[in-house]
A and B are shown apart, each in its own frame.
Chain A
Amino acid sequence: MPFFRRGSDDEREARARAQTEQAASLEALTRGGLPLRAQQRLGEIGKATSSFFTSDLSVDEFALVHALGLRPISQVMGSSIYHVGWQQRPGSFGGWQPGGVSQELTVVSEAWNTARLRAFARLEQEAKLVGADAVVGVHLTKGQHDWAAGAIEYVAVGTAVRAEGAEPVERPALTDLSGQDTWKLWQAGYRPLGVVGASTVHYVVPGWSTQQASGYWSSWANQELRDFTRGVYDARETALGRMTAEARAIGAAGVVGVSIEHSAEERESGAGGSRSNDLVVTFHVIGTAIGERRAEGRTLDVSPRIELRKDSLSPHVLGGSR
């Protein structure tokens, strides 16, 4: 019964060791690095002569990745929990803004972007530790914990792979494409260069006309809420613009598999005696930048087929809900 037991010397020593380890991990994390335990485990895998690997590749992916001459080394991961700062609501206090305001909440945007970049940076560090040439199937998930209010978490998980007979690379190429997609792209003459993404959060204070149309004195007429439309557009353009710029900076020919997640949340505000329903628009975009593998473009032969697939069973759920 551990509850009644008095700690022995061994135990106390072990606890002290665990605490110093934790302190060292914390310090490494503050510098944007990896915790000690991860460094040790991955360092061992990187040095090991055996070909033992872990991967979150499905069997199909595994088979295809093999066919490309890539050997999985280890599942790698990066995460970051980030505290989001506070920012003054844009727009002047008191009185109406006849034109409306659509402005980026730079502090909040930056929080999302930094958290994502840190998670990716740690994933990349892990991949470097195991001596990988690329990381395939990178999944980025958002976590939310009720014990960390006002914070966001990003977790990136993928499989580090080594290309057989290839020159060692300086930075492993990350891709959020599955093994299947990577294989198809490769056949078509492209290679992944890295994951690019951006997040923006925009704050829209509706102007006079929008408020009139949506508010208490709304007329019966069909009418566009122009300020809100503009706000959503602004946010999207900013996010996509940043992602495109990032892709260009690494010399990509284009970005594939872009996923856009967007949400618009209404927020009531009362400034200077006037009330308005403002809008907070959030955009997250992420995709894989690709470059041409060879000068001559190779087209992929594709044959149409009808699948005899109609599985009546839902996929297996391990350990409960998925």
Chain B
Amino acid sequence: MSYDPTSTEGVPEHGRERLAQMKAGFFTSDLSVNEFLLVKQAGFDPLGLVIGSSIYHIGYQQSSWKQSMEMDVLSQAMYEARELAMTRMEEEADQLGADGIVGVRLDIGRYEWGQHLAEFIAIGTAVKHHDGEMHRAPNGRPFTSDLSGQDFWTLLASGHRPVGLVMGSCVYHVAHQGMLATMKQAGQNVEMPNFTQALYDARELAMERMQKEGEELQAEGIVGVQLQERSHGWGSHVIEFFAVGTAIVPSEAARSLPEPIPTISLND
């Protein structure tokens, strides 16, 4: 999906009204008090909660019983749907004139009324720098990150800034084990190399794709990578591996993180 900062495609009437209201200076956000204060201190104002969602029909792919392979149709569906939701969220942020979005979370909803449907939602808080310092990603989009307000502050203080939430997805079909192999293993202590290989490969693909996204953003690196393993009702042998993290770049601002002091917390 191409990125159009002025697009309100897919945003319903009420959503547009909300955007117009937020443009006038009133904000909503899902930041906690601490997060709000830290984001403020980092030089940013919250502009409003931005949302992108996409209800996506996930196609069908035949898997062969005894072949471990990537289900590329499904991988692509999972990836594109998330990308769609993210892009819509970024467009909303752009309309508010935001520099970026913090605290982004990606959720997948499944409903009884649509077996092959999944709703992909991206939610975050759009923020803008006080003095209009440039914080956008190199591709012109507002930066996105799944960092909390606290982490955002720390990252800026350490002389880095987030450029984008990067992700990689891989849906993989794990082969069934043949009768012969099962019989050979009966009662034995042995590694199951074909299963190990399948899951290893799937994780590797997800991580590789995420890494590639980071490189495309000309990032210095990716922090906070989470690797998730989920089955979305495609049967037990089909698993999605999803890698997500925040790509960061060194910022122009100098490192201002104070020397850490070891403390004992008196909170319980």
User: What is A's interface to B at a CB cutoff of 8 Å?
Assistant: 2-3, 18, 22, 25-26, 29-30, 34-35, 37-38, 41, 51-60, 62-64, 66-67, 72, 75, 77, 79-86, 107, 110-111, 114-115, 118, 143, 145-148, 151, 153, 157, 183-184, 187, 300-309, 311-313, 315-320
Residues of A within 8 A of B41 (CB): none
Interface residues in B, total, Cβ within 8 A: 79
Q: Which residue numbers of B lie inside 8 Å of A, CB to CB?
A: 30, 32-35, 60-62, 68-69, 73, 103, 105-108, 146-148, 151-152, 154-155, 157-158, 174, 176-177, 185-197, 199-201, 203-205, 207-208, 210-211, 214-215, 219-230, 236-237, 242, 244-245, 257, 260-267
B222 touches A53 (CB 8 A): yes
Q: Check B257 against A63 for contact (C-beta < 8 Å).
A: yes
Contact of B195 with A148 in the complex, beta carbons under 8 Å: yes
Given that A309-B34, A318-B226 are contacting pairs, would A302 and B262 also be in contact in the complex, using a CB cutoff of 8 Å? yes
Q: Is the contact region of chain B dominated by helix, strand, or loop, or is it mixed?
A: mixed
Query: A80 to B196, Cβ gap below 8 A?
Result: yes
Q: Which residue of B lies closest to A305 (CB)?
A: B263
Contacts of A111 in B (CB 8 A): 189
Bound together, the chains give a CA A119 to CA B174 distance in angstroms of 19
Query: Which listed residue, A35, A64, A153, A319, touches B228 by the CB 8 Å rule?
Result: A319
Q: Which of B186, B222, B228 has the most CB of A within 10 A?
A: B222
Please provide the 3 A-B residue pairs with the shortest distance between their CB atoms, ordered closest to farther. Answer: A53-B221, A85-B189, A59-B151
Quick one: given A86-B187, A151-B195, A184-B262, are A56 and B245 in contact (CB under 8 Å)? yes
**Inter-chain contact A147/B264, CB cutoff 8 Å:** no
Whether B221 lies near A54 (C-beta < 8 A) is: yes
Q: Say yes or no: A55-B263 contact (C-beta < 8 A), given A62-B158, A320-B108.
A: no
The answer to whether B225 touches A60 (Cβ under 8 A) is: no
Contact flag A22-B264 (CB < 8 Å), given A37-B205, A118-B191, A319-B242: no
A residues less than 8 Å from B210 (CB atoms): 54
Query: With the chains together, A42 CA to B83 CA distance in Å?
Result: 27
Choose from A55, A67, A153, A303 the contact partner of B199 (Cβ within 8 Å): A153
Q: How far is the CA of A86 from the CA of B188 in the complex (A)?
A: 7
In the complex, chain A residues whose CB is within 8 Å of the CB of B265: 304-307
* Nearest chain B CB to A127 CB, angstrom units: 15
Q: Which residues of B contact A107 (CB under 8 A)?
A: 189
Contact of A302 among B35, B146, B263 (CB under 8 A): B263
Contact call A29/B105, Cβ cutoff below 8 A: no
Q: Can you report 10 A-B residue pairs in the complex whose CB atoms are below 8 A from each other?
A: A30-B191, A35-B204, A52-B220, A54-B221, A57-B223, A63-B155, A114-B189, A145-B195, A301-B262, A319-B230
Q: How far is the CB of A313 from chain B (nearest CB, A)?
A: 5
If A30-B193, A54-B221 touch, whether A303 touches B228 (CB-CB below 8 Å) is no
> Given contacts A77-B207, A304-B265, A315-B148, could you give 9 more A-B pairs where the C-beta distance is less than 8 Å?
A63-B157, A143-B199, A147-B176, A148-B177, A151-B192, A304-B263, A305-B264, A311-B32, A318-B244
- Which residues of chain A come closer than 8 Å to B62, judged between CB atoms? 3
Q: Is the CB of B107 within 8 A of A59?
A: no
Q: Which residue of B lies closest to A87 (CB)?
A: B187
Which B residues are CB-close (under 8 A) to A37?
201, 204-205, 208
Taken together as a complex, chains A and B put the C-alpha atoms of A145 and B148 apart, in Å, by: 32
Smallest CB gap from B259: residue in A = A67
Asked whether A319 lies within 8 Å of B107 as measured between CB atoms, the reply is: yes
List the A side residues contacting B262 at CB < 8 Å. 184, 187, 300-303
* A83 touching B191 in the complex, CB below 8 Å, given contacts A2-B61, A53-B220: yes
**A52 contacts B221, C-beta separation under 8 Å:** yes
> Is there contact, CB below 8 Å, between B214 and A54?
yes
In the complex the two chains form, is B260's CB within 8 Å of A84's CB? no
Instruction: Give the residues in chain A near B60, CB-CB below 8 Å.
Output: 3
In the bound complex, residues from chain B placing their C-beta under 8 Å from that of A318 are 105-106, 146, 226, 228, 244
Alpha-carbon distance between A81 and B194 when the two chains are bound, in angstroms: 9
In the bound assembly, the distance between CA atoms of A166 and B91 in angstroms comes to: 46
Q: Within the assembled complex, what's the spacing in Å between the Cα atoms of A308 and B265?
A: 10
Q: Which residue of B lies closest to A32 (CB)?
A: B191
Inter-chain CA distance A75–B210, complex, in Å, is 12
Q: Tell me the bound Cα distance from A304 to B267 in angstroms.
A: 10
Chain A residues, Cβ within 8 Å of B191:
29-30, 80-83, 114-115, 118
A75 and B190 contact, CB distance less than 8 A: no
Chain A residues, CB < 8 A from B263? 302-305
Checking B33, B151, B220 against A58 with a beta-carbon cut-off of 8 angstroms, the contacting residue is: B151
Assess the B187–A85 pair: CB atoms within 8 A: yes
- How far apart are A241's CB and chain B's nearest CB, in angstroms? 22
Cross-interface CB contact of A320 among B107, B245, B260, B266, cutoff 8 Å: B107
Residue of B with least CB distance to A36 = B201
How far apart are the CA atoms of A6 and B211 in the complex, in Å? 33
In the bound complex, how far is the Cα of B155 from the Cα of A64, in angstroms? 11
**Complex Cα gap A84–B205 (Å):** 28
In the complex formed, the residue of B with least CB distance to A56 is B225
